[in-house]
Structure 1
Amino acid sequence: MQLWANEFPPPPPRFAFHPRQQKETRSDEITTARCLSAAICEDVCDKPGEEEEEEEEEEEEEERNASSGSGGLLLLIQRKTPQRDWGTQRCVRRQTADREKRKEDEIKIERRRRNALTVAMVVVVMVVVVVVVVLVVVVVVMAVVVAAVVMVMVVFVVVVVVMAVVVAAVVMGVVVVMVVVMVVVMVVVVMVMAVVVAAVVMVWWW
C-alpha cells in the first residue's frame, strides 16, 4: 500500500494550478482587461464609419465561428491582442485627430487675434492721423484768422495815423493861414497908418 502511494501520488486539488497555468491565466486576464478597456474606449471615443462597421461585422462573424468550437474563448482572446485591437487603434486615431484639430483651432484663434490686433492698430493710427490733421487745420485756420485780425488792426492803425497826419496838416494849415492873415492885416494897418500920418504931415506942412 505504501509502495502504491509512492508510485501514484494523489491528484492535485481541484482549484490548484500549475505555475505555468497560473501565468497563462494571468496573461489571459490582462488581455481580457485590455479588451474590455478597448471596448469602453470604442464606445466612448469612437464613431465607426462604414468601413469600420464592415470590419466589425466580419470580426463578429469570426467571433461567432470561433466561439462555436471548444477553443472559441482562447481564439477570441488571441484576436483581441493589442496588435489587432481595432477599437484601441480607432480610439488613438480619434484622439490624434482631436489633438490636431485643437492645434488647428488654436492656430486659427491666434491668427484671428493677430488680425484683430492689426486692425485695431490700423484704426488707432488712422484716428491719430485724422486727429493730427484736424488739429493742424484748426491751427492753420486760427493762424489765418489771427493774421487777418492783425492785418485789420494794422490797417486801422495806418488809417488812424493817416487821419492824424491829415488833421495835423489841416490844423497846421489853419494856423499858417491865420498867421498869414494876421501878418497881412498888420501890414495893411501899418500902411494905412503911414498914409494917414503922411497926409496929416502934408496938410500941416501946407
Structure 2
Amino acid sequence: MTMPTPLGDAPIEPGHDCPLCPRLVSFREAQRAEHPDWHNAPVPSFGDPEAWLAIVGLAPGLWGANRTGRPFTGDFAGGLLYATLARFGLAEGEFAGRPDDGLALKGAIVLNAVRCVPPENKPTPEEIKTCRRFLEPELEALPNLKVVVALGQIAHQSAIKALGGKLPKYRFDHGAEHRLPSGMRLVDSYHCSRYNQNTGRLTPEMFEAVFARAVALRELGDA
C-alpha cells in the first residue's frame, strides 16, 4: 500500500528511483541489471491506512521484499509475521509469499525503517537517518495509531526518533515497553529473521507474546 498524502513538499513514500543514498542506489542499479524482473526499488508500506498498530521492520530483504515489492514477502521472515498477525485477527486471506496472494491487513500496517535493500542487510547510520524522513510523516499520517511494534534494534531506534523520543533513554530489549512523550506505546521484539528463528533466539511463542501485549494495551485503553 502506498500512502498518497504528502506533508509539505515531501512525499511520504520515496519515489521509484529515490536518489538520496548513493550506496543504496548503486546496489539497486546492480540488482536491476542482474534481475530486471524484480521490484528493485524502495518498498512501500503495506496494510491498513486506518491501522491502530504499526510494525516497523529493518529494511527489504534482497530475495524478499526487494524482489516482490511487498514487505516481508518472498523470504523466511514473512511466514511468522503474517501468521502471527492472522492469529490476532490483524490479517485476512492466505499468505503465500507473493504480492498477489490476496493477503490484506486489518488494523495493522507494516513499514520499514529503510525502504531500499542494503548490501548484506546492513544499512549505514546515515542511510537510516536519511530514510527517517519517510518514516516520520507516514507514522504521523495514521489517524488511529496507538501502538508500534519494532522488530530489532535498528527499527526500535528509528521508530523512537520518528515518534519524538530520545535515545538512549529508551533501551531495546525483547518484550520491552516504552511510553513516548506523545503517549504512543512502543513494544520491542527481536526481528523475525531466519537466523533468529533457527537459533532459537526468537520462538513463535515469544513473538506472539509481543503482539498479545500490543492488543492488550489497546484493549485496556493504555495506548
Report the TM-score, using the length of structure 1 for normalisation. Answer: 0.16
Greater strand percent: which structure?
Answer: 2
Which protein has the larger Cα radius of gyration, Structure 1 or Structure 2? Answer: 1
Task: Using CA pairs under 8 Å that are at least 6 residues apart, name the structure with larger relative contact order, 1 or 2.
Answer: 2
Give the helix-richer structure, 1 or 2.
1
